[in-house]
Structure 1
Amino acid sequence: MHIKAAGLIVSGLLLVTGCSTAASSPKAAPTASGTGPSAAPSSDGSTAPGDGADTAAAFRKWKIKPMAPAPAPPKVKPVKTGSGTPPVVSDIPTKEKIVFVTFDDGAEKDPKFVTMMGELKIPFTMFLTDDIIRNDYGYFKPLQKLGNPIQNHTLTHPNLRTESESAQRHEICTQQTKLKAEYGTTPRLFRPPYGNLNEATKTAAKSCGLQALILWRESMQIKGMQYQRADKKLHPGDIILAHFRGPSELKGTSMTEMTANMLRMISEQGFTVARLEDYV
């Protein structure tokens, strides 16, 4: 797995970047009593997060404070995409206490994580790299069936700022084709490895049919959250970066422990999780 840190300035903001090495339909998250109302359907027909006694029990099982229901997706997505240059997005304009969870690369293929997310019904987006997932494309299909989109994270995970525009186009467009062939849908969103991009990246991404470049505001480490803002807090609309991390990186623990730590931090700060694709 590729691990690297880099700095990136977008719209005057310094982004602290790490490795960025999109069944039954999920429903709205339980209230504290575990009986919260269902959320409105998302654009893919599923709802988010989970609802009901089973999901409430799952939150207790994983020792996570139940999250409030995510609000209904906006009728008009706040991030505009279209025929122009794809926007670079690190957070979503909203006043709702929601954040967006993303997982990158695809290195660790922990079956316990599939069980965990099936029980909790937390929406998330996967940004996958072919070199890292090709040994087991099938692992991600149950996660996709839960309503969690698969998006583009290049073919081989290069630092795109060191590549020509034609090389970047190959990395991005070839991955579009491979992901469509394996998972049946063409990605709309793109995350550049390490958060590194330039104007050629935007041009290449647009030529490959991608509508937005997705960065992040926080990155989840083994136990703690790395924040970009000085107040070290989540803000409405923040995008959180996590990874499919293996036991060697997590000091022998399961990926589920890292994910549970992240969800506890989200819940303890009074936020819930919404689906990124409903807002971009």
Structure 2
Amino acid sequence: MAKGGSSSRRVLGAALLVAALTTTAACSDSGSGAGPGAGGAPAPAAGQQAAAKARPLTASAALNEHLRKVREQRAARVLAARKWGLKQTPLEAPAPPAKKPAITTRKGFETDGTGLPPVFTTVPTKEKIVFLTIDDGAEKDPELIRMMTELDIPYSAFLSDYVVNDDYGYFAKMQRSQARGVALHNHTLNHRYMPALSYERQKREICGMQDVIEKRYGTRPPLFRPPYGNYNEDTLRAAKACGVRAVPLWASEAFPDRMEWREWDRDLHPGDIVLTHFRGKDDWKGSMPDMIRRVMNVITAKGYAVAKLEDYV
């Protein structure tokens, strides 16, 4: 697929280089003079046959093995797309950049403070990629984890303790569900309207959730999203004090039956962050797999792939 072209070329080049180095090392060893009586392996006893040396993987064999794995992965994704009712197979994201782009606060979202975590809705990139994020943690649908794993779609979860604390294990399973991991980030302890709180109360909300995520999932997250997308300078000061590096908001929001847009043109743009929520049929018109089906049909139809936010921020 076109979106995976640059990624495949890079991996192919790495495979060819490894195979070439392996072959060179093997040839060097065979001509070093090491052998029976010369510091090498002892000669086999009479009547025994020397064990054959493992043959080095040639560049051609490495290339063929890589192509086989790529074909298998793509075939599995095609089957998963059919299984989950997607109109098209999701496009493959390109390889992430060697250096992450510089993130700055979106114009109009600034506060008077300086040196604070940037607030943004779109990541600077020319690639046709978007980022999928899911907020709060109220709905714990095992089908969501299964669907995202089988489709191999990266996403990031922003968690609030008041709705995840009845089943921390669900999000531990989510975190481990993909080969490169699903990142879990901060959405405060209790999902309060932050500008109404004092600096100290905001800090307790943010730092407290940092502590919960570190205790339950092993790391203090670098990203924080304020509830409802509302914040003031105290929010950003508190976030920085708690170890937060960036504050991603969103450019569009996904529901099972529609998309809502921040931008005037009601469209996707390279680097847009897409928001949705952990919700089910009690809260909206469909399940979480219904929502993923809707948003992925829109993303793919517009020629975009979903990339991993943490590769860029």
TM-score by length of 1: 0.80
Q: 2:300 aligns with which of 264, 267, 274?
A: 267
Percent identical: 47
Q: Does 1:248 align with 2:282?
A: yes
Q: Which residue number corresponds to residue 95 of structure 1?
A: 126
Partners in 1 of 2:293 and 2:299 — Cα distance? Answer: 10
Q: Which residue number corresponds to residue 67 of structure 1?
A: 90
User: Which structure 1 residue ranges, 4+ long, deviate > 4 Å from structure 2?
Assistant: 34-41
Q: How many pairs are equivalent? A: 239
Partners in 2 of 1:114 and 1:152 — Cα distance? Answer: 19
**Amino acid aligned to 2:135:** D
Contact 1:130 1:175 in 2 (8 A): yes
2:73 aligned counterpart, secondary structure: coil
**Amino acid aligned to 1:170:** R
Deviation of 1:264 after TM superposition, in Å, equals: 0.7
Contact 1:40 1:71 in 2 (8 A): no
Q: Which residue number corresponds to residue 57 of structure 2?
A: none
Deviation of 1:87 after TM superposition, in Å, equals: 0.5
- Gaps in structure 1 of 5+ consecutive residues: 1-30, 42-49
Q: 2:75 aligns with which of 53, 58, 75?
A: 53
Partners in 2 of 1:195 and 1:204 — Cα distance? Answer: 15
Which piece of structure 1 moves more, 209-218 or 84-93?
84-93
Contact 2:254 2:295 in 1 (8 A): yes
Give the strand-richer structure, 1 or 2.
Answer: 1
**Amino acid aligned to 1:92:** V
**Structure 1 residues 213 and 229: CA distance shift in structure 2, 3 A:** same
Flag the structure with more relative contact order, 1 or 2, with Cα contacts below 8 A and sequence separation at least 6: 1
Q: Deviations over 1:86-145 (max 9, x none)?
A: 111110011110000000000000111111011011000000000010000111122211
Contact 1:187 1:210 in 2 (8 A): yes
Contact 1:86 1:212 in 2 (8 A): yes
Deviation of 1:250 after TM superposition, in Å, equals: 2.5
Partners in 1 of 2:267 and 2:193 — Cα distance? Answer: 29
Q: Does 1:202 align with 2:236?
A: yes
**Structure 1 residues 37 and 71: CA distance shift in structure 2, 3 A:** closer
Q: Which residue number corresponds to residue 133 of structure 1?
A: 164
Larger radius of gyration between Structure 1 and Structure 2: 2
Matches within 5 A, 1:170-185: 170-185=204-219
Q: Which residue number corresponds to residue 12 of structure 1?
A: none
Partners in 1 of 2:82 and 2:256 — Cα distance? Answer: 21
- Gaps in structure 2 of 5+ consecutive residues: 12-71, 105-113
Q: Which residue number corresponds to residue 166 of structure 1?
A: 200
Q: Which residue number corresponds to residue 47 of structure 1?
A: none
Deviation of 1:186 after TM superposition, in Å, equals: 1.1
Contact 1:85 1:203 in 2 (8 A): yes
Matches within 5 A, 1:112-131: 112-131=143-162
Q: Deviations over 1:238-268 (max 9, x none)?
A: 00000011221134x3211111111111001
Deviation of 1:35 after TM superposition, in Å, equals: 11
Contact 1:39 1:69 in 2 (8 A): no
Matches within 5 A, 1:4-23: none
**Amino acid aligned to 1:59:** A
**Structure 1 residues 110 and 277: CA distance shift in structure 2, 3 A:** same
1:51 aligned counterpart, secondary structure: helix
Deviation of 1:36 after TM superposition, in Å, equals: 10
Q: 2:187 aligns with which of 131, 153, 160?
A: 153
Partners in 2 of 1:62 and 1:191 — Cα distance? Answer: 30
Matches within 5 A, 1:100-111: 100-111=131-142
Partners in 2 of 1:80 and 1:269 — Cα distance? Answer: 25
